[in-house]
Structure formats: structure tokens, C-alpha cells
Structure 1
Amino acid sequence: MTSNVSRRSLLALGAGLGATTLLGGSAQARAPKLGTQSPYWHRFNLGSAEVTVVSDGPLPLGPPKGTFIGVPDDEVKKMLSDNFLSPDNIVLEQNSPIVNMGDKLVLFDTGMGTSKAFGPTTGRQQKSMAEAGIKPADIDAVVFSHAHIDHIGGVVGEDGKPLFPNAQYYIAQSDFDYWTDEGKMGSPLKDFVVHARKNLLPVRDRLVYFKDGQEFLPGVQALAAPGHTVGHHIFMVTSEGKSFAFLGDLSHHSVLLLEKPRMEFSYDTDPKQAAATRVKMLDMLAANKTPVMSYHFAWPGYGHVAKAGEGFHYYPEPMQMVL
């Protein structure tokens, strides 16, 4: 009974004195707002390997109209709103796993680099790596899912010199040839070609071309997933029987292109082929219950896909904060 009386008395006292008096006589919080965010990296284990996800920062695409095609605009906006996402600005993340296999440190994709084609929030991969305690000189291998501007942009710095001085670089030859082709400089692809040439030509003598199905690094297997680009690949990353698939740009959006995987995406080189590839690969990953990491899903982009009606559903993995 005493505790109830004490609590009632306290509440009455609070009502009589006013909340500000109880909180120290000021309606203002004494501590200043900090305005800072946690570092942009996350770490987890995969078998005996250690995976560190680093971010190149958010990449805003703007309104979905004209970018996500084949479904009425109102329906696309409703899909976003129903999932508590902005219907007016699609914001993608840029999640790069760095896998420490013990004998090799492997980075997948390098972000926008110095290009600000999608605004000022991109280009922070080097900062994220520093926050995570990883030195660029320690990277042994840089693996590209494809040669688009937001995946190969962080190979060289402002001075045009390679940022990963000791790495070998791995890509599909068809993608390298397509996106470094000078003959495309007069086309709408010009900015992408300029950026690819700027980043890939300085490391041309360190490029290794992988093939579909090849385990080109210990524990890293390439799987052709064409359509988004001619040589787009996803990768199965395996250590001691544990695996995840790095999806690159198999799907840019965890709602739109999973719920309606045959929706088309305007940045695809061949949208119809990309949609067919997306369905085929997601079917396989869902059936095998293989964990996935998508470059563009909400941070840190790691989870599972499962069949849901005509499409799929993405289940983010809870972030494990104890290794």
C-alpha cells in the first residue's frame, strides 16, 4: 500500500509543481544535441571468415516514375506507401561486403567514388573502411559485380591513382569491354563510359576475367546474372560450409522488384532479360534458403528471400552486435 501512496503522492506533487520544476527548473535539455550518426560499417562471421559491410552512402534516385517500369505509377507509389517508404523519393543504399578469408581480404564493388551524379551523400566508402579499421593497402582482391558508375567508381582517387595499390581486380570481360568502349562516348551512356574508363583503365594490367560458375578466388564463385548489364554476375561466398550470395544489382529494391520481380528497371541494359534472370536467381536462392546481401537494400542489406505469391519477400537479418 505504501508504494501506491508514494507513487500517487509523487504524481500529485508533479502536477502541483509542474513538470519543469521536477526536471530542474528548465524546459530545455541540458545536453546539446549531437547531430552525429554511428559509423557506417557492420561486421558478422561466416564460417571461419569475417565479413565487414562498409557503406558508400545513400544514393537517392528521386521519384519512381520512369525508373520502375511496367506497373502503373499509382500502384508503384502505393507499394512504397504500404511499406512506409517515401512514394516520392527512392533512396538506395550501397553495401559492400569485405570478406576476410584468413589468407585473402576481398572487397566487392567500390561505390561512386568522386562522381556526384546522384548527389553529395555518396562516395564515403574509404571513410567507412577507415571507421571499420580496414586499410586500402590490405585489400588483396576487388571483385566487381558489373561496371556501372556506382560499383566501379571508387577504384581511383581524385588524383586518378588506384586506391587499392596491392589488389588484383576481377570482372567479367564482356562488361569491361562494353563500358570502356570509346565508341559509346557519343551515346546517352557517355557519363557511365567516362567513369568506367577513368576507374578501370588505370588497373587494366591487374584485371582478371572470371567466367560463369568459376571459383576464381578460394570461397568465391561467380554466377552469370545478365540483363542489368551484359556481364552482370552475382557471387556465392562460402567458408566452412556457410554461404551467402552477394547479389550486386540483381534487385535494386527489396519491395518493388521482389514483390513484382518482372517489373522493369530503366537502368537495365536489357530489362526483359534482367527480369527473367531476377526470377530465376531468386527462385534458386529462396528454394535453397541461401542468405543474401544486396548492394542496394536498406542498410546493411543482409537477409533472406522467400517465395510470396507471384513474387518474393525479403526478410532482413537482425544485426548481431556480439561477434
Structure 2
Amino acid sequence: MTLLNRRALLGGAIAMGGALSLRVPDAGAAAPFRNSLPPAWHRFRLGEYEATIVSDGRLPLGQPEPAFPASPPAELRGLLEAAFLPPDTATLEQNILVLNTGRQLILFDTGMGESMGADSKMFGPTTGQLLANMRAAGIEPEQIDLVVLTHAHNDHCWGLTTAAGQRVFPNAQVAVSEADLKYWTDDGNKRGPAFMNVFIEGAKKNLSAYRDRLVMVRDGQEVAPGVVAIATPGHTVGHHCYAITSGNQVMVNTGDLAHHHILLLKRPAWEFSYDTDSKLSAQIRSRMLDRLATDRHPVLSYHFPWPGLGHVARAGKGYDWVPVPMNMSSLG
């Protein structure tokens, strides 16, 4: 057979294959959309400790301008668009740390939970996923020895109890700052923004269920071996970050030091509407971000993109968020 004939034969076979492919019968209806996400948890080593980040679900803020009321709208939208984010909505994550030190199982914050009924869904139906995702990660609420609160806002402490007021973590102590405990259980603070009433009612319900198991957090002191509190007031009167040290590894759990990985890192002086003292919060945020960039320690941020692990790097007058690759099994 000549080369020409072989080519002609090959061409004919391809043409026949194409023709045959056109006559394949319909395979039937397409697979249905699942409309659900897989369980969200991420595990890694921090020195000798084992850390697991568990999601409480996404927390949509809606239009970003009301959440950042003093920010120039055009600049705000420009920053979002430059980061390939929608300019007309802001969505936060809720990244909750479970730390296994070998002696204790420590939970940092509890998410929105279901303790306040319909109010627990004030930011939409995607929150309140902590317990399901914990169980998917092999962790039961009865195993938690200590709950450490960065502060007493709804998306951090409302998961302490059930709707009936029962303890979700029956064997746990709860560490919280005395300043936040007093402020968020005081009916006299039901003033100002409309959300204050339900925030205080929710804190009262959830914290009072552990009144005989409360541990007071103090700046610069350990709440557990290797876990040191760092006072960062402003977002709330008693907000704290936590430096976690094991071996030669340090990670800082920053809680709500900065809510948005673009807006409040590029513009750390911008105010956030849910801050108790927005000007103080901006000052503390700027100071702490400078410290984190200098020390180069990895950071866990509660509201940054899942799973909230990364580094803060200086960038002009602000900072960049540099995520840690998800395939890293250890921060060391």
C-alpha cells in the first residue's frame, strides 16, 4: 500500500469515526445539580500540636458600603474589582480553630450556632455549620476541654448553647475577657445600632450557661500551655488575639482584627460598622498588622478566605494577604 493510499484510508477512518459519533444515541438526562458543599475542614501540624480548621460557613455582609461607612465608595469598589471580587457584595468566611495539644482539645470561637432561633440566621442560611463539620473531621463536641473566645460577638459565641439553652460543649471551660463578659451581658449597653439588643441577649444566653466554668483572659498570660492572649481592643472592648507556640513554631490567631483580606489590609485605617470603637480598632489593627509583618509568623484569620491561613506582608502603605498553600501538612 502506498503512502498516499494509507493517508487516504486513515482520513476515511477518521471521517467514518466522526460520522459514527454523530449517530450515538442520547445518553439520557444530565446529572442533577447537587447544590451542596462538602464538609469543610483542614488539618495540619503546628510544632508538636495538631491543628484543625473547621468552617462555620460563609457569612454574607451584602452591600459593602454600609459595613465600611467612612470609606470612599469608588475606592472601595475599585479595590474589590482589582482583586477580582464582586464590587456590590462582601462575603466573609468563619474559620474556627480546634487545637489538640496532646493534653487538651481547645476550640477557638464557636460560630453562629442555633441558640437564638431565627436571629442565628441574620446573615443568611449558610452559617451554623460548625458541629457538622467538626464531626466530619472526627471531633465530637463532648471532647472539647476548653473554648477560647476572641470576643463575645454573635458569630463567635452564639454556638455555645442550643436553642433550648443547653451546653453544646458539656465538658468545656470557656475563656473570655472580663471586659467583654461585662460589656456584652449588660442591658445598659442596649443602645446605638439596632443589632446591639440581640447581640447582648445572645451573649447573655450563651455565656450564662457556663457561668460556673468561665476563665478570665488576661493580656500577656497563658489561657492554656502554649496559648498566650494578646489584648487588641476596639472591635470589642475585650477583643484578644492568641499567639500559639509549639516547639519553634508560632501561629497567631487574630480573630476579628481585620474582617476583609483586601479592604482592611490595603486600608487598615478604614472603619468597620460592627466595631465598638472604630477609631481604636483601626489604630490597634494598624499596629498589630505591622507586628505580624515584621515577625513573619503565620496567621489564622477568622473571616479571611477559607481556610484563613496565611502571612501578612507589607505592600506600600498597607499590606498583602499571602495564603499558605492548602497542600502543606505542617506550618514548620
TM-score normalised by length of structure 1: 0.92
Change (3 A) 1:69 1:186: closer
Aligned residue for 2:152? 147
CA contact (8 A) 1:62 1:89 kept: yes
Which residue of structure 2 aligns with residue 286 of structure 1?
A: 293
Shifted more, 283-292 versus 37-46: the winner is: 37-46
Aligned partner of 2:106 in structure 1 is 106
Alpha carbons of structure 1 residues 10 and 257: separation in structure 2 relative to 1, 3 Å: farther
Structure 2 counterpart of 1:274: 281
**Amino acid in the other structure paired with 1:112:** M
One-letter identity of the residue aligned with 2:324: E
CA distance in 2, matches of 1:240, 1:209: 26
Question: What is the SS of the residue equivalent to 1:183?
Answer: helix
What is the number of equivalent residue pairs in this alignment?
Answer: 318
Q: 2:248 aligns with which of 241, 246, 250?
A: 241
Contact 1:99 1:107 in 2 (8 A): yes
1:171-230 CA-to-partner distances (Å, cap 9, x unmatched) read 110011000002223553111101100100111111111111111210100001111011
2:86 aligned residue: 86
The reply on whether 1:163 has 2:171 as its aligned counterpart is no
For 1:169, the aligned partner's letter is V
RMSD of aligned C-alpha atoms? 2.2
* 8 Å Cα contact 2:39-2:132 kept in structure 1: no
Task: Give the alignment of 1:1-323 within 5 angstroms.
Answer: 12-13=15-16, 15-18=18-21, 21=23, 24-26=24-26, 32-114=32-114, 115-185=120-190, 188=193, 189-320=196-327
Identify the range of structure 1 (154-163 vs 113-122) with the bigger mean alpha-carbon deviation: 113-122
Deviation at 1:135, TM superposition (A): 0.8
Deviation at 1:37, TM superposition (A): 2.4
Q: Which has the larger radius of gyration?
A: 2
Q: Is the 8 A contact 2:65 2:73 kept in 1?
A: yes
Aligned residue for 1:203, secondary structure, equals coil
Q: Which runs of 5+ in 2 are unaligned?
A: 115-119
Q: Distance in 1 between matches of 2:148 and 2:77?
A: 34
1:38 Cα deviation (Å)?
Answer: 2.1
Contact kept, 8 Å, 2:56 with 2:95, in 1: the verdict is yes
Q: TM-score, normalised to structure 2's length?
A: 0.90
Task: Give SS of 2:243's match.
Answer: strand
Structure 1 segments of 4+ aligned residues over 6 angstroms from their partners: 5-10
